[in-house]
Amino acid sequence: MPDTFVLTLKCPDRIGIVAAVSTFLAEQGGWITEAHHHSDDRDGIFFMRQEMRADSIPSSIEEFRERFVPIAERFDMEWKITDRRQPKKVALLVSKHDHCLSDIFHRWRIGEYNIEITSVISNHPDCADLTAMHGIDYHHIPMTKDTKAAAFEEIEQCLEKEQPEVIVLARFMQIMPPHLCAKYDEQIINIHHGFLPSFSGAKPYHAAYDHGVKLIGATCHYVTEDLDAGPIIEQDVIRVDHAASARDMVTRGRDVERSVLSRGVRCHLEDRVIVHNNKTVVFG
Amino acid sequence: MPDTFVLTLKCPDRIGIVAAVSTFLAEQGGWITEAHHHSDDRDGIFFMRQEMRADSIPSSIEEFRERFVPIAERFDMEWKITDRRQPKKVALLVSKHDHCLSDIFHRWRIGEYNIEITSVISNHPDCADLTAMHGIDYHHIPMTKDTKAAAFEEIEQCLEKEQPEVIVLARFMQIMPPHLCAKYDEQIINIHHGFLPSFSGAKPYHAAYDHGVKLIGATCHYVTEDLDAGPIIEQDVIRVDHAASARDMVTRGRDVERSVLSRGVRCHLEDRVIVHNNKTVVFG
Amino acid sequence: MPDTFVLTLKCPDRIGIVAAVSTFLAEQGGWITEAHHHSDDRDGIFFMRQEMRADSIPSSIEEFRERFVPIAERFDMEWKITDRRQPKKVALLVSKHDHCLSDIFHRWRIGEYNIEITSVISNHPDCADLTAMHGIDYHHIPMTKDTKAAAFEEIEQCLEKEQPEVIVLARFMQIMPPHLCAKYDEQIINIHHGFLPSFSGAKPYHAAYDHGVKLIGATCHYVTEDLDAGPIIEQDVIRVDHAASARDMVTRGRDVERSVLSRGVRCHLEDRVIVHNNKTVVFG
Amino acid sequence: MPDTFVLTLKCPDRIGIVAAVSTFLAEQGGWITEAHHHSDDRDGIFFMRQEMRADSIPSSIEEFRERFVPIAERFDMEWKITDRRQPKKVALLVSKHDHCLSDIFHRWRIGEYNIEITSVISNHPDCADLTAMHGIDYHHIPMTKDTKAAAFEEIEQCLEKEQPEVIVLARFMQIMPPHLCAKYDEQIINIHHGFLPSFSGAKPYHAAYDHGVKLIGATCHYVTEDLDAGPIIEQDVIRVDHAASARDMVTRGRDVERSVLSRGVRCHLEDRVIVHNNKTVVFG
């Protein structure tokens, strides 16, 4: 993991923001390793991400944050400063399919993701063994039409207890209730197995097959109350032709699903995503 | 241009079709240069394309067609046999933008497309000079809300007179009337500047921008009465990020529009596309 | 797994091959689910792959093969008929990195690959735990400059004993001795972490970094005596920019390595690859 | 064209550069529309590009440049400030093939490139008509083995007279003499029809065909004395399979050549490319 601090912010755009922030960082001794900004012309919003070597900042992260407050107030910023050495706590929700789960486990195991996995929560038993292999707790919470409310209450209790900062729906085939979407705003990441806004909802590969599209895709997005309509973090597609059945699309789609999810999650974990107006700025 | 004949067919699937066709071709002396087939399991339909050296067939194409009739009848085939040395007559319809038109002119000029361009028809004068440069007739047929019906009648008369086999809507921003769609079934090719079925209709790039998608695309399809919902021939996408304005998307989209249209048109010209059930089999 | 037989062949090209083969298949009752052929104009070689439903062939696979012999002899074919329901025995060789190994394990576990893994062989202990998790034997055969010959002898004995049909070098960072390359001709599949023929040999990402290329890639190929120069089965690339360090390339390259290897291995397992003249025909 | 000024610079990396530059820009009233920086860790070099609205700078560009001098000296910068409203003068060199030339003409005609084309220079007469259509001067300078030196002298005289800022080799199939490479350092842009460093030199598609690669590509780079080894600006690839002949690769390659060249040229024209150590930083 890089030994860095990350500052991200958004605020109304005006002249002097970059000057103020970079002068501040220079005064603090900050050795910047990566810097991005973006001005949204239409909405008049300015976005920034600065990554700097932690050892170049003599103060603690708490002091560093405190010193930044006056600038933040002056420019009316929404902001945060995080320490990339600190693993983020992540809960994983799955149903039956384990290709995304397996991929996330691997990236965690080889240190590509700096995370602590709080637990795996599932409405099915299928991924229990794989999870056990990795020494992670598995909460099997069965869910029928009638028990859905109770089951989600149980899920909420798990989350309450384990306090993850990020919730990844790694092919969790249930719709999150609105109050959980609101509670974990910009913290729940979903992978949808379709190229949104096409083919939202259930059975997207079958819909793609029926339409005769020549590319199928996957979309990683934050979960909001509007089904499959939250801010898109990452998307990708792969080529299919007339010879591909809906079943073939399901098989081949797995590869694009997990690569899109893995990139989306990585961007979120590295604080590269800023949400505004149901869209994302992703500083790649 | 390859000196070849092309046989394409579709028929109900059953054992023995390939054997019958390939035995026939071998008997005729046909030296096959390319062969493709596809069985649609769901609908029970068989599709085939065979390309063979014209000089390996001692008979004329008319005799060759005649000899094929008994096999076609036996298996209840829809079929055709075409001569790739024979240029196809193509009409081009455009509005103001010339990037697709310019690309088609270039491919025709360097012999990549074996076509005869009957004329360019437009509701605007913008592309007249470029067309004149290439020595092609330009029919400027202005179109307002009130004159639309009359204008399309005039277009139809042009087409009647010039008898194109293919009509390419190379960014023609008007909706073809249903009776023309029906009359030129599977002969009108459109390029839509969006990744269908997302963003059909007007201003697709602006819709893509508003949705915050991370890839924008273009779709080449046959025109049917249902707006932007005819059989898809080819699609592709390019990556955009938060920094791209709707205007940037329009600019960058031009490149994907013309490459998608050029591939779709090429496949059609080379008789590589077979339509079934509002979808295409494309033998690439 | 599809319940199918696969016929693959190559032979000198001439008129009548397809007719003979498809007539034979029709006589045997073969319901063809997929068919491909290719004529190599330059070398005058014909290639074919036919896949047919096993239950449509009333005879055993042995009888079926026997009946095909006269045709094979008549056209001087190199050919084989395989049963896709029969798992192929696969040995996996790795060094320290487990991203390709982990991916193959996953595809095997979910039934995407119809294989039996005979064992994992490694010159390092790093992948032992992951292998044990999956209940597969792990042969740790350490290798130094001085013990290389003895170590490869030990590897050969493992292979002799376990009789795999396919040997996958899933990031095995040692050069196979020529006699093993010859013994397992067209049976050893390697993933090279560079876009061959660029950047063969050691440290390809560092070479790519030094050259300032804008795309990095991976290549899946059969292993021959010529280092990284065997017939290419599959390749792919991903985009990098000036901000990517050699170390970043190593990280991002993992994703393209495993997707390229997985596609190459799948094509081989499904008998879609025919080698000729140090190149491959891949019937996708 | 955007009404903007562009500042680009490189200098030894140290703390305070961004602060100094952005404070300066804020003092001048500069409304930044796009900003990028990059630190090359290995070489300790810092790169920056700032684009700002011209109407936000009350001074002339000359005064603006003058005011920047002290900062540039303090940090030992190589830098320039350009006005994007000012068209760049471009000379185009071609041989027989016109697909890249035609594409550049189109982008110029529709205003995608803000350039003035000084002339087209060619060792063949083939592109004369297309050039005349566009009202541009065409210098046909035939070149044989024996007349090469004299021909390049004549080319040099044209360039001397017409004073282009950029020279685009739009499929010019002759090797530029070293003294011209040196004279127009970082000003000559070439498109190579191969994925460098693979397949440099002549007949790259034939070499790609012989190697059986599964992707073919094109590379846009600055020309240096080392043949096809100058700093790479942009690259891309397209997929080919066993069915593609070397001739097919030539045809399909045209599309990737012109899209790669067009992107490379656009980046150069918009001052997005900074060269260092035979590599490029491209602020996309």
What does the block give as tokens for C163?
């009789």
3-state SS record for chain B: CCCEEEEEEEEECCCCHHHHHHHHHHHCCCCEEEEEEEEECCCCEEEEEEEEEHHHCCCCHHHHHHHHHHHHHHCCCEEEEEECCCCEEEEEEECCCCHHHHHHHHHHHCCCCCEEEEEEEECCCCCHHHHHHCCCCEEECCCCCCCHHHHHHHHHHHHHHHCCCEEEECCCCCCCCHHHHHHCCCCEEEEECCCCCCCCCCCHHHHHHHHCCCEEEEEEEECCCCCCCCCEEEEEEEECCCCCCHHHHHHHHHHHHHHHHHHHHHHHHCCCEEEECCEEEECC
Q: Which residue of D has its CA nearest to B250?
A: D112
The residue assigned the tokens 């059953």 is B14
**Chain A, window 25-84: residues with a beta carbon less than 8 angstroms from a chain D beta carbon:** 25-27, 29-37, 39, 41, 56
User: Which of B29, B37, B39 minimises the CB distance to C15?
Assistant: B29
Q: Average pLDDT in the D107-125 region?
A: 97
CA atoms within 13 A on the CB side of D18: 33
What is the structure's pLDDT at A2? 84
B237 with A215: Cβ contact below 8 A: yes
Chain C neighbors of A102, CB-CB under 8 A: 102, 106
Q: How far is D255 from chain C, CA to nearest CA, in Å?
A: 18
What is the structure's pLDDT at B5? 97
Asked if B89 and B116 count as a contact pair (C-beta separation under 8 A), the reply is yes
Identify the helix (H) or strand (E) that includes residue A238: strand A232-239
Which tens digit of pLDDT belongs to each residue from A242-275?
999 999 999 999 999 999 999 999 999 999 999 9
Which long-range CB contacts under 8 A does D150-156 form with residues at least 24 apart? D151/D123, D152/D176, D152/D177, D152/D180, D155/D93, D155/D121, D155/D180, D156/D180
pLDDT(B209) > 80: yes
The Cα–Cα gap between D35 and B243 comes to 11
What does the block give as tokens for C51?
């896949």
What count of other Cβ atoms lies within 10 Å of the Cβ of residue B98? 22
Q: How far is A4 from chain B, CA to nearest CA, in Å?
A: 25
What is the structure's pLDDT at D61? 96
What does the block give as tokens for B158?
């042009």
Q: Average pLDDT in the C140-158 region?
A: 97
ipTM of the complex: 0.94
User: Which of C231, C237, C241 minimises the CB distance to D212?
Assistant: C231
pLDDT(D1) > 90: no
| Chains near A (3 or more Cβ pairs under 8 Å) | B, C, D
Average pLDDT taken over every residue of chain A: 96
Q: Are strands D4-12 and D45-53 parallel, antiparallel or unpaired?
A: antiparallel
DSSP symbols for A178-234: HHHHHHTTTTEEEEESS-TTTT-SS-HHHHHHHHT-SEEEEEEEE--SSTT-SPEEE
Which tens digit of pLDDT belongs to each residue from D177-236?
999 999 999 999 999 999 999 999 999 999 999 999 999 999 999 999 999 999 999 999
Say which amino acid occupies D63.
Answer: E
The Cα–Cα gap between A131 and A104 comes to 11
Which tens digit of pLDDT belongs to each residue from C97-118?
999 999 999 999 999 999 999 9
A235 with B213: Cβ contact below 8 A: yes
Q: At what angle do helices C61-74 and C17-27 cross, to 10 degrees?
A: 160
CA-to-CA dists, residue D184 to D115, D154, D188, D189, D262, angstroms: 18, 16, 6, 10, 20
The Cα–Cα gap between B146 and D236 comes to 48
The Cα–Cα gap between A168 and D34 comes to 33
What is the structure's pLDDT at B38? 94
What is the structure's pLDDT at A284? 86
What is the structure's pLDDT at C121? 98
What is the structure's pLDDT at A72? 98
What is the structure's pLDDT at A261? 98
Decide if B249 touches A, using CB distance below 8 A: no
What is the structure's pLDDT at C1? 73
Q: At what angle do helices C246-269 and A246-269 cross, to 10 degrees?
A: 170
A232 with B212: Cβ contact below 8 A: yes
pLDDT band at B1 (very low <50, low <70, confident <90, very high): confident
pLDDT(C2) > 90: no
Q: Which domains does chain D have, with CATH numbers?
A: 4-83 (3.30.70.260), 88-282 (3.40.50.170)
Each residue's pLDDT, cut to its tens digit, for chain A (284 residues) gives 789 999 999 999 998 999 999 999 999 999 888 999 999 988 999 999 999 999 999 999 999 999 999 999 999 999 999 999 999 999 999 999 999 999 999 999 999 999 999 999 999 999 999 999 999 999 999 999 999 999 999 999 999 999 999 999 999 999 999 999 999 999 999 999 999 999 999 999 999 999 999 999 999 999 999 999 999 999 999 999 999 999 999 999 999 999 999 999 999 999 999 999 999 999 98
Chain D neighbors of C280, CB-CB under 8 A: 212, 242
Say which amino acid occupies D89.
Answer: K
Which tens digit of pLDDT belongs to each residue from B102-158?
999 999 999 999 999 999 999 999 999 999 999 999 999 999 999 999 999 999 999
DSSP annotation of C84 reads T
What does the block give as tokens for C57?
């062939």
Average pLDDT taken over every residue of chain D: 96
Helix (H, G, I), strand (E, B) or coil at A122: strand
Average pLDDT taken over every residue of chain C: 96
What is the structure's pLDDT at C187? 98
What count of other Cβ atoms lies within 10 Å of the Cβ of residue C76? 10
Which tens digit of pLDDT belongs to each residue from B7-41?
999 999 998 999 999 999 999 999 888 999 999 98
